A and B are shown apart, each in its own frame.
Chain A
């Protein structure tokens, strides 16, 4: 057996460690532990000269095991493994002791802290003797990307990747791509028409040779990990043969049944067979199976008769498509908060209390009123109130700021003034106009004569107390700038409703194994330094599924995720974890418990020489250890975390100094 020659390095971390722990004393102590041939302390071990100490000792003193006692391994274990490797040793012949987070930062008593640091170092020294060299392997990276959600975020990410000539599978749940942006009329602060800037992109997505578009589809299952995710996509039956449908719309015209149109926010109706909007991509009809009278009751088939192309196919079944991708971009967007839960605002109780998206449809020339802002009775409003922060910045609903409402409220104020000459009252708490050209837009609206009233609206009532209030909706709030209660009678109220996580975000998170924050949006790996990655390698998040944001920020994020995916593809391989599980086939019973618990589907029970045993797919195993814990016979071991190693470490910690 080789002689164990351990080098121990105690880091001061400036005064972070040395301010509490007597590092010299710890180094002296470590120097006399069995197997230790050199023990040093140094101000910053992670610095180049610090790392050089390790490399030099490996070369000059024949050190063949290394222990660094410093900060948390999260940041610098890779640094020191690399140094060990550069010194000519296998990087796994290294052990990290955390004497900062686990010691100096949490203790004030210098003597006790020094003693604890000694214990941690002793345990690491004991364990490092038992480390075996491990082989780091690379696996090929599947050069394709799954994008979930075909809003502006998903489309932008897909286009960027596809324009780099890499394959994209774009999965959209609705019959058409476009997302919320397709419902918007004009976009702040430039007021350019949303459709005009969106449709060319939609069309590019629809025709791109590198994009395989699956609409009316959902991701059902994802397994594997970065570099090779296996994805099952459910392509829901739309009862229309996409290849035959020419998008003429004859079917919808003939369909005798009408239901509220989701795209029009219920302000207009659509057929049960329908194309959601004129610019839909793909421009094909879809039968809404839930409402189809034929599918539900077995009678009708009016569409079939109307369709000259013969595209209707009532026999169509859901289809499962399986694809393999190297990375996944989640771009599932947001839902609009339903303000009906704030009963004092009277949404659904009063005809002329609307949400933002409803108002978008009113001002849109292609919308249900052909772009006219009209009250339910067909009159033009003479006065309009805009209510900010409905469901946002309110711990009863959502604590966060929805970021776009101040700006879209200004947009509506402008449109209301331009299209109707109505008096506009904007009830705000703070005006948050942070983006490029936003403050200027706010300034412009002031100039246009919008009445800004600072105060969160307390209620909207039709209970008139003066003649002027009769027949009006009265918006009641404090004018906090005057310290007076104010009642403003208006004809129409627009509630600037919060943007909230998708209703099915939890499920999507589960399928993808990504987490959500307390607010329900998907969690980024690091708010500041890794904002579009998730803690799961190879899965990225873009747009409003991560947090409410405007289109410019959404697009920037989408582009960032595309860049991340392309950079992985361009590297071509993924480094596989070396500390993975192995099975001692002589003890394994083939019970399959490991197969059940593994979140990465690495173990499978196979027959070897007629015996059922577990076999680990090394490319899938992440070394999480779930199998080792569950295995009733102790057949499974995680390399680098063997029973022997862990127990030696525990023993060292518990014995007298």
Chain B
């Protein structure tokens, strides 16, 4: 029989890596019951917390990499355990100390980010190529708004249109905005959650220096992940600027009457809350207000919307890792949307765009269902 002995040194490593909250866990199991993974496979969050308490974690297990950091569990944990911090601590222990095994896909993305500043491994100088033909100006001192699109829309041909839509909207509204030079790097949110703390620190420092030296006051972002790290994590490292998610920015323009949507869109649209916009940052209403402002659009709601929203599966670095068919949350969402008769799944996060598009294609639903970022819908409706 396998006999366990508490392994204090391992617990200490986890604690030092930021796992301190694990002490509070009293093993009720609510997190396991809440975690969406258990819809598709077994993922005993409670058990991981206890193994971490005893230093009995199997660092070689894929469980270390499973959490999508969707925050569903954290919001409900009766002891207020920052479960994501514990998950991150386990990954840090692996990534920095080399105790276990980092999944291949993640290792490659991590290497890309550290090397060229984006997970796709694209050349840095092509970061702003998506806007080549749009004559967007470079950010200069005094420019009102910096638009920071996220690596995915910047490089991924399938998601480029998200950034291009934002540019189109800004141009039409004559907003004084610019793009920062190609020295910008990945925001680092996801790689940090994946345990690569040093990489994150250097990315963040690079961006903070860049923004500060350029006199950036306001950043508008397309990704809730950039939003989260700029807003919650950069200030601790000295990066202080106003951060707005595009949904907030557009909603306020609509509210002020500056943005008018006139083209009808006679479609049923269901909005999927991105975890980092919703649970992590409590932005639920603005995206919906924008969608409601589009004439003809019928807004549908998932049965588990807002605080209970299902993750697309892309958080916590999972966007770079392979999730086998049958375990993809985005497949569940697409299925739900189809049942509701939705024509479009609207999202507000580039990771969601990637995952849902992938699901729609692989599930053979491309003829009947589209995946669109709200910026794309707005641009079309202007």
Interface residues of A (CB under 8 A from B): 423, 425, 431, 442-443, 446-454, 466, 468, 479, 481-482, 484-489
Contacts and interface: CB of A to CB of B under 8 A. Distances in A.
A446 B2 contact: no
Contacts of B377: none
Nearest 9 A/B pairs, CB to CB: A484-B4, A486-B4, A446-B24, A485-B3, A449-B23, A481-B50, A446-B23, A481-B27, A487-B5
A486 B6 contact: yes
Given A442-B26, A484-B3, A488-B6, 18 more contacts: A423-B8, A425-B6, A443-B79, A446-B24, A447-B23, A450-B23, A451-B54, A452-B26, A452-B27, A479-B54, A481-B46, A481-B50, A482-B54, A484-B2, A485-B1, A486-B54, A487-B5, A489-B5
B47 interface: yes
A494 B25 CA distance: 23
A489 B79 CA distance: 29
B56 interface: yes
A466 B3 CA distance: 11
B51 interface: yes
A447 B27 CA distance: 14
Given A446-B23, A446-B24, A481-B47, A451 B53 contact: yes
Nearest to A468: B5
Given A485-B4, A488-B5, A488-B6, A431 B46 contact: no
Tell which of B5, B46, B51 has the most Cβ of chain A within 10 Å. Answer: B5
A265 B56 CA distance: 38
A454 B28 CA distance: 11
**Interface majority SS (helix, strand, loop, mixed), chain B:** mixed
Given A425-B6, A468-B5, A446 B25 contact: yes
Contacts of B27: 452, 454, 481
Chain B interface residue number, banded: 20 to 34
A42 to B, nearest CB: 53
Nearest to A469: B5
Contact of B24 (A423, A431, A447, A484): A447
B8 A486 contact: no
B3 to A, nearest CB: 5
A590 to B, nearest CB: 73
Contacts of A425: 6
Nearest to B56: A482
A463 B47 CA distance: 29
A466 B23 contact: no
A482 B5 contact: no
A482 B3 contact: no
Contacts of B6: 425, 451, 486, 488
A454 B26 CA distance: 10
Nearest to B55: A451
B20 to A, nearest CB: 9
Contacts of B1: 485
A443 B24 contact: yes
Contact of A487 (B4, B8, B56): B4
Contacts of B47: 481-482
5 contacts: A481-B47, A484-B2, A485-B4, A486-B5, A486-B6
A486 B7 CA distance: 11
A487 B1 CA distance: 12
Contacts of A448: 23
Given A451-B54, A481-B47, A482-B50, A446 B3 contact: no
A443 B28 CA distance: 13
Interface in B241-257: none
A448 B8 CA distance: 15
B23 A482 contact: no
Contacts of A489: 5
A579 to B, nearest CB: 59
B8 to A, nearest CB: 7
A448 B20 CA distance: 10
Contacts of B79: 443, 446
Given A423-B8, A451-B53, A479-B54, A485 B26 contact: no
A487 B23 CA distance: 20
A486 B51 contact: no
B89 to A, nearest CB: 15
Contacts of B5: 466, 468, 486-489
Contact of B3 (A423, A468, A487): A487
A581 B192 CA distance: 91
Contacts of A486: 3-6, 54
Nearest to A483: B47
A485 B54 contact: no
Contacts of B46: 481
A482 B26 CA distance: 14
A142 B5 CA distance: 66
Interface in B73-90: 79
Interface string B21-43: 00111110000000000000000
A452 B6 CA distance: 11
Nearest to A439: B26
